[in-house]
């Protein structure tokens, strides 16, 4: 890997070598990058903005959650949905890409007094959960994963422990949404003590989950997605409206004040 190209606070823009690309389903790959300076300061929930090739197409970088950190390596779980993600997944091992990060805030795993964490994810929203689970487990927390998808092909449980699955079509696990499964499982899980929920997934899932948690006064962090350009607060492409404590609404830049917000702040 080449030296750091740019450093602002702990955010770096570096050229990182692709060590491995591993396809785990028809449209999802795990890409391992040698990126010591990002690996050293990444936190669960933070993300990187990757220039997937050297040409002008696509011009903009693409944002990805940090899936896992192992020593100098970071792993990214990428679902192919368009040209940027397709190019990234097809990049040869040994090639380099520019990586800007770690960006954004992170899941709040410090301030809350909880002993059980429920990680709720849908589809590619499972990407940040491995890093989060490992960090929580190292703190001695009990971790349960509730993972949802439309069909069993959408379920991504790579290396996660204690996984419970839901599918919309009933092809695997609980038949229904992952929030329905949470409603079903929660009475048993709550016996273990204070809990906190951490979630990432499609917006309708996050809205349903926020409503569920807010009605029950359960602490919940949500990792949101938006279109992003720069990733560092310059382009204003990632504006999202959130609630304010006094009942109003304010606009945040998700790349700076997110991607993680308290569920109470989500406009549902």
Ligand X SMILES: Cc1cc2nc3c(=O)[nH]c(=O)nc-3n(C[C@H](O)[C@H](O)[C@H](O)COP(=O)(O)OP(=O)(O)OC[C@H]3O[C@@H](n4cnc5c(N)ncnc54)[C@H](O)[C@@H]3O)c2cc1C
Q: Which is nearer to ligand FES, 176 or 229 (CB)?
A: 229
Instruction: Quote the strand ranges of 88-137, DSSP E.
Output: 96-103, 116-122
Q: Which two tokens stand for residue 68?
A: 């896992």
CB atoms inside a 10 Å sphere around CB 167: 23
Binding stretches for ligand X (CB under 6 A): 47, 58, 62-65, 77-79, 81-85, 124, 127, 225-226, 228, 259
Q: Is 228 in the site for ligand FES (CB under 6 A)?
A: yes
Q: Is 229 in the site for ligand FES (CB under 6 A)?
A: yes
- Minimum separation from the CB atom of position 203 to ligand FES (A): 17
Give the whole-angstrom CA distance, residue 117 versus residue 115: 7
The residue whose two tokens read 């795990």 is 30
Alpha helices in 7-155 (DSSP H): 36-41, 83-90, 129-138
- Minimum separation from the CB atom of position 192 to ligand X (A): 29
Q: Is 176 in the site for ligand FES (CB under 6 A)?
A: no
Q: Which is nearer to ligand X, 218 or 261 (CB)?
A: 261
Given ligand X, ligand FES, none, residue 1, with its beta carbon under 5 to 8 Å by kind, binds none
Please, which of residues 232-251 interact with ligand FES by CB under 6 A?
Answer: 233-238
Q: Is 231 in the site for ligand FES (CB under 6 A)?
A: yes
Q: Which is nearer to ligand X, 67 or 196 (CB)?
A: 67
Binding piece for ligand FES, criterion CB under 6 A, among 53-61, 152-160, 200-208, 230-238:
230-238
Give the whole-angstrom CA distance, residue 7 versus residue 102: 11
Looking from the CA of 29 toward its CB, the CA atoms found within 13 Å total 19
CB atoms inside a 10 Å sphere around CB 17: 15
Sheet with strand 195-200: strands edge to edge? 174-175, 163-167, 142-149, 116-122, 195-200, 219-223, 260-262
Give the whole-angstrom CA distance, residue 49 versus residue 162: 30
- Minimum separation from the CB atom of position 258 to ligand FES (A): 9
- Minimum separation from the CB atom of position 177 to ligand FES (A): 29
- Minimum separation from the CB atom of position 69 to ligand X (A): 14
Q: Where on the chain is the footprint of ligand FES (CB under 6 A)?
A: 228-231, 233-238, 253, 255
């Amino acid at each position: 890997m080449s030296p750091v190209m740019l450093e602002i606070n702990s955010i770096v823009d570096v050229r990182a070598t692709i060590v491995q690309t591993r396809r785990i389903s028809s449209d999802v790959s795990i890409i391992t990058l040698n990126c010591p300076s990002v690996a050293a300061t990444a936190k669960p929930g933070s993300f990187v903005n990757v220039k997937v090739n050297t040409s002008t197409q696509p011009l903009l970088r693409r944002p990805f959650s940090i899936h896992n950190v192992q020593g100098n390596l970071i792993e990214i779980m990428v679902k192919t949905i368009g040209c940027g993600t397709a190019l990234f997944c097809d990049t040869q091992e040994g090639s380099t890409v520019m990586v800007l990060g770690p960006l954004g805030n992170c899941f709040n795993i410090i301030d809350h007094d909880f002993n059980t964490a429920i990680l709720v994810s849908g589809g590619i929203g499972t990407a940040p959960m491995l890093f989060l689970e490992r960090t929580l487990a190292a703190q001695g927390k009990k971790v349960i994963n509730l993972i949802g998808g439309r069909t069993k092909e959408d379920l991504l449980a790579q290396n996660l422990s204690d996984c419970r699955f839901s599918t919309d079509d009933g092809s695997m696990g609980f038949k229904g949404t992952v929030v329905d499964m949470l409603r079903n499982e929660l009475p048993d899980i709550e016996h273990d003590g204070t809990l906190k929920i951490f979630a990432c997934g499609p917006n309708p899932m996050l809205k349903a989950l926020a409503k569920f948690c807010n009605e029950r006064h359960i602490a919940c962090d949500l990792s949101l997605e938006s279109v992003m350009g720069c990733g560092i607060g310059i382009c204003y492409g990632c504006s999202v409206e959130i609630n304010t404590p006094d009942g109003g609404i304010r606009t945040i830049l998700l790349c700076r004040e997110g991607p993680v917000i308290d569920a109470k702040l989500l406009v549902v």
